Structure 1
Amino acid sequence: MLTLGLWGLDRGGMWRDEAVTFQVARRSMAQIWHLLGSVDAVHGLYYLLMHLVLAVRPGEVLLRLPSVFGAAVAAGLVAALGTRLCRPRVGLWAGLLYAITPMVGHYAQEGRSYALVAAGGAGATLLLVRAVQGSSTPTGVRWWPYGVVLAATCLLHEFAVLVLLAHACTLALARVPWRVWRGWLCAAGAAVAVLLPLVLFSRGQAAQVAWLAVPDGSSVEGLVRQFAGPDQVVLGPYLVLMALGVRARGPQRGVSLAGVALPLLVVPPMVLMGVSQFRPLYDDRYVLYALAGAPLLAAAGAERVAGAVGRLRAGGTRRDSRVRAPYALSRRVGAALLGVLAVCGVLVVQFPLLRADRSAANRPDDLAAMSAVVGREVRPGDPVLFLPSLERRSALAYPADFRGIRDVALKVPAAADGTLYGREVGAGELRRRLGRLAYVWVVSEPYVLRSSWTPWNSTERAKLAVVNKGFVTRAEYVSRGVTLRLYVRRAESRPASAPTRPAVTPRSSRSSGNPHFRPRTP
């Protein structure tokens, strides 16, 4: 997992969510605290952690390194669960299957908290199993590590609290005695008590997830493919092995592998999807920690197959007791190696997916590419308009490319304002500022340029109205998720004191080699 995580870690560009982590984590502790009062409180602990990490040396590799380590720890914990609940080769197979899952690899290289949350979820699950099985250890000693890890995981992302429902199902399936329930309830209650203030406070910031849609059947299918492997060659056998793992026999009393893995896999996504039918809150990355159940079940299914094959081969064969033990040992080692080879085969099949994910083109946008164009085409002192204001994230993530530009709409910078993208002037002041310009560069989302888009506030409406009515497009650069346009004022609306042509025009000699750069004649 560590090798796959480090492979291609420097993609050469951040996308929008990573850019938020990067620019917020580089603020002072006081500025981060100021920000959390208005937005992103759910990521507060992660931002504080990344502030310490990026203090060493700000950069994209260091930004993603905690996620790589988190994914590696999660893979090891999945292996530990398989070993403790079944046998070492099941743990080996489960850990390897977890490591080569494309969804795991994706978030292992993401500058967000999800890989760390997955590690915390797996760690809490392993501590639950140890607490239930450790009957000789005093109750308080058994449960306090579980409560601490669970609380920290939930503070990294509050939807991790759904793992408690999965653990409750595990205890119910294991038919544990009341003293175990009592210890678990105390630890779980303490974790919830720690999380509750964050939940209550973050409710006031719920508009941040207003973009989420109600999950449907395609959401379920997509999550199954994400968890088991999107390639059809892998998906079918994987699901068959998981079904065999569910039917694997466990102890009559006590936790079993299926009793741990199945609730972890099913309960958190099912509950979040159910709640999202009334208030959309579901996204597959919010339940990444539930993925750990899939390789555990698949490895348990593979163990059933290996056991059946072993019994068939040994059936009817009489062996001397002196050679039986070495034969059994070699058979176990051979079965473990065959399983490893099968996992390597899955890795070969999914390798193109893993390789493609190491490219910045596999993210929704590439702020580095757009920022490089701004640095090349826009001169110091040129006016720039961000439409909508959140497109200022390019300038916040890559300030060197925007150094010296005039941010037409900005009133208070983001760090000083305690917001993600800064505070802008009102509509009236913006109209006056734009009215004095002969040209303006506009950094925008592609959807802004469609006639169906309706701006959400008066300043955004003023931007769109003035640019469309008073200016015409001179040149355009299109990148994934971001568009840069040069607008020049229409002749009939040009102020008498304004120059007859913009002071800057696209430098076609630099841009002719770029197929995405399209000069236009007004």
Structure 2
Amino acid sequence: MQTLAPLAPPRPEPAVEPTLGDRLRARWLCWLVPALVTGVVVAFRAGTPEPWRDELATWSAAHRTVPQIVELGRHIDGVTVPYYLLAHVMAGFGDSVLVLRLPSMFAATATAAVTALLARRLWGPRAALTAGLLVAAMPVVSRYGQEARGYALAALFSVTATLLLLRALDSARWWAWLAYTTSVLLLGWSHQIALLLLIGHAVAVAVIRRRAVAAWLATVVVAAAGVVPFALLGMGQRATQLDWLSAAEPADLADVLQTVFLSGVIGGAVGAFAVMALRTRDRRAPLLLLSALLPVLTLYAVDQLVTPMFVGRYLVFVVPLLCALAGRALADLRLPLGLTVVLVLAAIGLPAQEEIRRTHSGFDYRRAAALIHAQDRPGDGIIYAPRDGWHFTDIALRYYLGDDVPKDVLLQSDEVADASLWATECADPAACLTGTDRVWVLSGDNLETGRRAGPTDQLTPAQQAVLTGSFRQVTQTRVDGFTIALFVRGRR
């Protein structure tokens, strides 16, 4: 009988070295693809929506000298001075609002890349790819990526600071802390309310590496030193800048995802996926969620206890953090299924994307300017109503018509001379209208109620008396947000 030799144990399969293509997909494509997609999405028709009132304020500030911008900050928008200085630099490359929007467009593109890098560092390339593409699919990213204000920059520096904090906690090198300090400084310069992110960072430092609390505090103090001068400029300006706000209701807090993401369905889905990411055993996931959640709750508390300031666009900086968490949850699915979810959310957001590229407000400054320009005559004057409101119609007409704007008959001193966003009108409208036989009145609708303005509803009693006593109305036209009337001297 033949004895069988015992079977030899199977040889282990030799380890397969990752190919160059594998390394490329893992290290580069997971963030490069989202950045390219976001860049294309944000650039699509970026110059089509006309500037709304906040962007008109940016345009006005950008065309002032540096000392004039600083002086403006002493009266209004003190916290926005760093952004206005950036806009001033951009204005040197062109006069269009598209040029002013370029920093926001680049910031939105970079936000997708950095969000992917954050997710890659925490959970790998698959989470990175889905997180970055989620950023590209968000209507809110396109909305503020196509706006000449600092919200897209705040989103970029929010996720950048979070990534650099993790690197600093891992390496504890001085240069890592310096990079984090710089990102926090830029975050504060882009939008000071975004510094609420540091509440979540403080919790993360205490949990992940308690020994680093002193180093973290030192970096925050250094960064704050660069923000404080602009914070001091803005002190006492709340009554001027946020007088249109009232305290938020509990329903406003409940609807915060709708408000921030510009879509309740998309915001709810991203929020749900972000919570699902907590299933991972990685304790950094709940800390990242806290970094997004605590600023929202803190801003609501300030709104209730100190002064109203609970505004959805002030919280855009939490969007990339939630997208990073949602990318982690989608990474548990097969890649084709995860990408399908991203495509479905992008499809849901298409109506909002279309609306974003049509208008940023309900005020058609372009048509109002074109209508007046088509019918004005040499010697015509114009009156803006209300002059002290947030419509900025005088700035808008200068943007569209340049030197072809009818004479501002009630102008006493312009907004640059007043270091303001509003001009000063003469106290005697009858004397100021002497010699003017035709005068346009451009009346903006009520910003709070949306109530349509009549031709003279928002003029002062003295201005109304002059128009009704010495002029007769010959035309009246409506465009979105405005009533335009032409008055000719003579009795009715």
TM-score normalised according to structure 2 size? 0.83
- Within 5 A, what are the aligned runs for 1:12-411? 13-135=50-172, 137=173, 140-172=174-206, 174-178=207-211, 180-206=212-238, 207-227=240-260, 230=263, 232=265, 234=266, 237-251=269-283, 256-260=284-288, 262-278=289-305, 279-304=307-332, 306=333, 335-360=334-359, 362-389=360-387, 390-400=392-402, 403=404, 405-411=406-412
Identity of aligned residues (%): 27
Shift of 1:454: 9.3
Question: Is the Cα–Cα contact under 8 Å of residues 258 and 297 in structure 1 kept in the other structure?
Answer: no
Question: Is the Cα–Cα contact under 8 Å of residues 23 and 396 in structure 1 kept in the other structure?
Answer: no
> Which amino acid in the other structure matches residue 430 of structure 2?
R
Q: Work out the CA distance in 2 between the residues paired with 1:235 and 1:162.
A: 20
Aligned to 2:24: none
User: CA, structure 1 residues 92+221, in 2 after alignment: closer, same or farther (shift >3 Å)?
Assistant: same
1:145-173, CA deviations, whole angstroms, 9 ceiling, x for partnerless residues?
A: 1112211220222112211112112223x
> Which amino acid in the other structure matches residue 413 of structure 1?
D
DSSP-derived class of the 1:171 partner: helix
> Which amino acid in the other structure matches residue 45 of structure 1?
P
1:402-441, CA deviations, whole angstroms, 9 ceiling, x for partnerless residues?
A: 6262211111233333222322222xx2232246655421
Question: Is the Cα–Cα contact under 8 Å of residues 140 and 261 in structure 2 kept in the other structure?
Answer: no
Q: Work out the CA distance in 1 between the residues paired with 2:302 and 2:461.
A: 34
Gaps of 5+ in 1: 307-334, 492-521
> Which amino acid in the other structure matches residue 398 of structure 2?
L
> Which amino acid in the other structure matches residue 375 of structure 2?
E
Question: Is the Cα–Cα contact under 8 Å of residues 467 and 487 in structure 2 kept in the other structure?
Answer: yes
- Within 5 A, what are the aligned runs for 1:452-463? 460-463=460-463
User: CA, structure 1 residues 464+158, in 2 after alignment: closer, same or farther (shift >3 Å)?
Assistant: farther
1:22-60, CA deviations, whole angstroms, 9 ceiling, x for partnerless residues?
A: 122122223323322222221111111111112012212
Shift of 1:199: 1.7
> Which amino acid in the other structure matches residue 208 of structure 1?
Q
Question: Is the Cα–Cα contact under 8 Å of residues 413 and 424 in structure 2 kept in the other structure?
Answer: yes
Q: Work out the CA distance in 1 between the residues paired with 2:472 and 2:163.
A: 62
Shift of 1:114: 0.8
Shift of 1:236: 5.3
Q: Work out the CA distance in 2 between the residues paired with 1:86 and 1:287.
A: 25
Question: Is the Cα–Cα contact under 8 Å of residues 121 and 160 in structure 1 kept in the other structure?
Answer: yes
- Within 5 A, what are the aligned runs for 1:464-503? 464-467=464-467, 471-488=471-488, 491=491
> Which amino acid in the other structure matches residue 286 of structure 2?
A
Gaps of 5+ in 2: 1-37
DSSP-derived class of the 2:349 partner: helix
Q: Work out the CA distance in 1 between the residues paired with 2:434 and 2:89.
A: 44
Alpha-carbon RMSD: 2.5
Question: Is the Cα–Cα contact under 8 Å of residues 83 and 89 in structure 1 kept in the other structure?
Answer: yes
Shift of 1:489: 5.2
> Which amino acid in the other structure matches residue 386 of structure 1?
Y
**2:440 maps to 1:441:** yes
Q: 1:5 aligns with which of 37, 42, 51?
A: 42
Question: Is the Cα–Cα contact under 8 Å of residues 26 and 51 in structure 1 kept in the other structure?
Answer: yes
> Which amino acid in the other structure matches residue 392 of structure 1?
D
Aligned to 2:22: none
Aligned to 1:325: none
Question: Is the Cα–Cα contact under 8 Å of residues 264 and 292 in structure 1 kept in the other structure?
Answer: no
Question: Is the Cα–Cα contact under 8 Å of residues 429 and 466 in structure 2 kept in the other structure?
Answer: no
> Which amino acid in the other structure matches residue 418 of structure 1?
A
User: CA, structure 1 residues 241+108, in 2 after alignment: closer, same or farther (shift >3 Å)?
Assistant: same
DSSP-derived class of the 1:417 partner: coil
Question: Is the Cα–Cα contact under 8 Å of residues 387 and 463 in structure 1 kept in the other structure?
Answer: no
Off by >4 Å, runs of 4+ in structure 1: 226-229, 234-237, 435-439, 448-451, 468-472
Q: Work out the CA distance in 2 between the residues paired with 1:59 and 1:237.
A: 36
DSSP-derived class of the 2:314 partner: helix
Question: Is the Cα–Cα contact under 8 Å of residues 212 and 280 in structure 1 kept in the other structure?
Answer: yes
Question: Is the Cα–Cα contact under 8 Å of residues 75 and 99 in structure 1 kept in the other structure?
Answer: yes
> Which amino acid in the other structure matches residue 4 of structure 1?
V
Q: Work out the CA distance in 1 between the residues paired with 2:57 and 2:287.
A: 39
Question: Is the Cα–Cα contact under 8 Å of residues 170 and 259 in structure 1 kept in the other structure?
Answer: yes
Question: Is the Cα–Cα contact under 8 Å of residues 151 and 192 in structure 1 kept in the other structure?
Answer: yes
Shift of 1:272: 1.1
Question: Is the Cα–Cα contact under 8 Å of residues 439 and 488 in structure 1 kept in the other structure?
Answer: yes
Q: Work out the CA distance in 2 between the residues paired with 1:8 and 1:32.
A: 30
Q: Work out the CA distance in 2 between the residues paired with 1:247 and 1:490.
A: 77
Q: Work out the CA distance in 1 between the residues paired with 2:302 and 2:43.
A: 36
> Which amino acid in the other structure matches residue 177 of structure 1?
R
TM-score normalised according to structure 1 size? 0.79
Q: Work out the CA distance in 2 between the residues paired with 1:243 and 1:336.
A: 20
